[in-house]
């Protein structure tokens, strides 16, 4: 009873005493520091870089070497793939062209851009190459052996180790030519020399027809002689058609010992000349002749397989106008001539010919025979010395002789000319049978 009373009294006493309130820490009202404005970008970059840093040990660290003069050459007949490889100091773009051999698991790889003299990539793309339309993934290239190579070049062209291309095969029967030469002339009767120079130009065309046929045309073939006894010779059009027969004209069989058969072919053709003008000067005599048209049949004694080179005879009539005496004449002619391209690349070219003419149906002219005659001899050689922008510059050597008695009041006799000069061809593509670089200049 006593304990309960004491307990109750203490409870009433403590209820009258005020307890101090617990202190509440003050609430900070300052705003947290603001994040920099580029924080999201930095966070994104760090997120992208982090995986690369982790994958760095697996990155392909292959360094492709550039080709040299002894490197293999890609073929112009095979497919080319675009290939991106790791950047190198020499080829920072990492762009290459690949030709792959699947069985060998080997790729010939060439830079897609030209290189400078130190072997570093330039801003010039390769010229005269096929487009690479397909891309070879770098992951696939890791399964192949990559060999430095020189990019392909078309037939008749050559590419050096820097990727620069140049033409080394020329067709001198397809060109626009301009030339000049020193062309002195000697007259046997006067034993004097005429100092002259020659300026010549013309357009030469050639194209194949059906199998075993060849067409050749020359336009505006002109020679101007300036200096002592100035003169000229010009032809508007000259056309030449030649063919090779499959069937022999006749067969010859011999019976001495074992019987043997010999086939004789008649490879006939056609030669045409339209509007050939000639001005002749001998001493104080000058004469002008205009050929209205010539038609000759030709017979090849020999020709090359492509019909470009030949030795042949031709003969036929010519209608000519004597402009000095103002009358028409008939001039039958016969010739033995040759046109030879000596080498495969077209650098050496040889011409020769002998032609005889007889002037018929002419009116009588005082001081010359009623039926005059002409004999022409010619031999020429042309060799390509160099090329400027892939246009050949040739050295020409030419010797000519002419005997004639068709000039009134001028003694009949020989005149000789020796000519040496240069000729520039504005257009001379590669020959039709030009080999590829691997078979030509490698």
pLDDT at 417 over 60: yes
Question: In this predicted model, what pLDDT tens digit does every residue of 332-354 receive, in sequence order?
Answer: 999 999 999 999 999 999 999 99
Q: Where are the domains of the chain?
A: 81-166, 175-440
pLDDT at 236 over 60: yes
What pLDDT is attached to residue 338? 97
Structure tokens at 48: 């992208």
Report the pLDDT averaged over residues 313-327: 96
Handedness of CA 297, 303, 309, 311 (dihedral sign): negative
Nearest to 104, CA basis, from 143, 74, 65? 143
Question: In this predicted model, what pLDDT tens digit does every residue of 81-99 receive, in sequence order?
Answer: 999 999 999 999 999 999 9
- Mean pLDDT rounded to a whole number for the chain: 87
pLDDT at 10 over 50: no
pLDDT at 31 over 60: no
DSSP for 139-206 reads HHHTTSEEEE-BPP--TTEEE-TTS-EEE----TTSEEEEEEEE--EEETTTTEEE-EEEEEEEEEEE
Token look-up 């020359």 returns 218
- For residue 376, the tally of other CB atoms under 10 A from its CB is 16
pTM over 0.85, yes/no: no
pLDDT confidence bin for 17, thresholds 50/70/90: very low
Nearest to 244, CA basis, from 214, 218, 274, 272? 214
Range of weakest confidence among 139-148, 182-191, 266-275 = 182-191
Bigger pLDDT: 33 vs 171: 171
pLDDT confidence bin for 438, thresholds 50/70/90: low
Q: Tell me how long the chain is.
A: 442
What pLDDT is attached to residue 271? 98
pLDDT confidence bin for 410, thresholds 50/70/90: confident
Pairing status of strand 106-111 against strand 145-148: parallel
pLDDT at 376 over 90: yes
* Right CATH for 175-440 from 3.90.75, 2.40.230, 2.20.110, 2.60.40: 2.40.230
Structure tokens at 101: 């051999």
242 to 121, 131, 209, 307: CA distances (angstroms): 50, 39, 10, 8
What pLDDT is attached to residue 34? 54
Show Cβ contacts of residue 391 under 8 Å, excluding neighbours closer than 6 positions. Answer: 424, 425, 426, 427, 428
Report the pLDDT averaged over residues 10-19: 44
Count the helix, strand and coil residues of the chain and give each as a percent rounded to the nearest 5: 10, 50, 40
CA distance 330 to 380: 29
Structure tokens at 120: 């570093």
Report the pLDDT averaged over residues 361-375: 94
Q: In this structure, are residues 438 and 200 in contact, taking their beta carbons and an 8 Å threshold?
A: no
Range of weakest confidence among 20-34, 178-192, 326-340, 395-409 = 20-34
Q: In this structure, are residues 170 and 392 in contact, taking their beta carbons and an 8 Å threshold?
A: yes
Handedness of CA 145, 146, 149, 151 (dihedral sign): positive
Structure tokens at 102: 């699947």
Range of weakest confidence among 22-26, 142-146, 156-160 = 22-26
What pLDDT is attached to residue 283? 77
What pLDDT is attached to residue 249? 82
Report the pLDDT averaged over residues 390-413: 94
Q: In this structure, are residues 167 and 200 in contact, taking their beta carbons and an 8 Å threshold?
A: no
Which among 1-15, 51-65, 337-351 has the top mean pLDDT?
A: 337-351
Structure tokens at 83: 């290939």
198 to 180, 184, 192, 195, 266: CA distances (angstroms): 5, 9, 19, 10, 38
Run of H or E including 106: strand 106-111
CA distance 111 to 122: 10
Question: In this predicted model, what pLDDT tens digit does every residue of 255-310 receive, in sequence order?
Answer: 988 999 988 888 999 999 999 999 999 878 899 999 999 999 999 999 999 999 99
Provide Rg for the chain, Cα atoms: 44
pLDDT at 20 over 60: no
What pLDDT is attached to residue 282? 85
Q: In this structure, are residues 359 and 369 in contact, taking their beta carbons and an 8 Å threshold?
A: no
Output the CA angle 293-295-296, nearest 5 degrees: 145
Structure tokens at 64: 């492709």
Which among 3-7, 10-14, 335-339 has the top mean pLDDT?
A: 335-339
CA distance 324 to 408: 10
Percent of the chain with pLDDT strictly greater than 70: 85
pLDDT confidence bin for 165, thresholds 50/70/90: very high
Q: In this structure, are residues 382 and 172 in contact, taking their beta carbons and an 8 Å threshold?
A: yes
Q: In this structure, are residues 243 and 249 in contact, taking their beta carbons and an 8 Å threshold?
A: no
């Amino acid at each position: 009873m006593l304990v309960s009373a004491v307990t109750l009294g203490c409870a009433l006493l403590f209820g009258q005493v005020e307890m101090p309130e617990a202190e509440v820490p003050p609430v900070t009202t300052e705003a947290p520091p603001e994040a920099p404005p580029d924080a999201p970008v930095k966070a994104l970059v760090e997120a992208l870089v982090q995986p690369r840093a982790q994958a760095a040990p697996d990155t392909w660290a292959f360094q492709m070497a550039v080709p040299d003069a002894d490197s293999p050459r890609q073929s112009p007949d095979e497919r080319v793939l675009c290939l991106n490889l790791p950047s190198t100091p020499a080829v920072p773009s990492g762009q290459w062209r690949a030709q792959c051999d699947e069985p060998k698991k080997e790729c010939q790889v060439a830079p897609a851009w030209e290189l400078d003299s130190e072997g570093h990539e330039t801003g010039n793309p390769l010229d005269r190459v096929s487009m690479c339309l397909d891309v070879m993934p770098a992951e696939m290239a890791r399964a192949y052996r990559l060999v430095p190579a020189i990019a392909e070049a078309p037939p008749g062209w050559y590419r050096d180790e820097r990727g620069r291309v140049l033409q080394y095969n020329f067709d001198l029967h397809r060109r626009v030519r301009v030339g000049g030469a020193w062309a002195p002339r000697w007259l046997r009767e006067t034993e004097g020399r005429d100092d002259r120079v020659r300026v010549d130009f013309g357009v030469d065309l050639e194209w194949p027809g059906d199998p075993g046929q060849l067409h050749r045309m020359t336009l505006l073939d002109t020679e101007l002689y300036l200096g002592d006894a100035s003169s000229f010779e010009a032809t508007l059009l000259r056309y030449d058609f030649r063919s090779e027969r499959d069937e022999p004209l006749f067969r010859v069989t011999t019976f001495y010992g074992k019987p043997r058969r010999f086939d004789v072919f008649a490879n006939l053709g056609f030669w045409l000349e339209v509007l050939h003008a000639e001005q002749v000067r001998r001493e104080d005599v000058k004469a002008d002749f205009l050929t209205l048209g010539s038609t000759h049949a030709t017979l090849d004694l020999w020709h090359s397989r492509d019909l470009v080179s030949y030795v042949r005879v031709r003969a036929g009539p010519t209608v000519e106008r004597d402009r000095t005496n103002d009358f028409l004449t008939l001039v039958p002619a016969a010739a033995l001539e040759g046109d030879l391209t000596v080498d495969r690349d077209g650098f050496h070219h040889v011409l020769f010919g002998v032609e005889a003419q007889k002037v018929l149906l002419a009116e009588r002219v005082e001081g010359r025979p009623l039926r005059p005659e002409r004999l022409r001899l010619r031999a020429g050689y042309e060799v390509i010395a160099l090329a400027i922008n892939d246009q050949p510059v040739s050295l020409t050597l030419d010797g000519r002789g002419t005997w004639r008695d068709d000039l009134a009041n001028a003694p009949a006799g020989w005149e000789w000319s020796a000519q040496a000069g240069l000729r520039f061809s504005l257009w001379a593509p590669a020959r039709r049978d030009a080999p590829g670089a691997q078979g030509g200049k490698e």
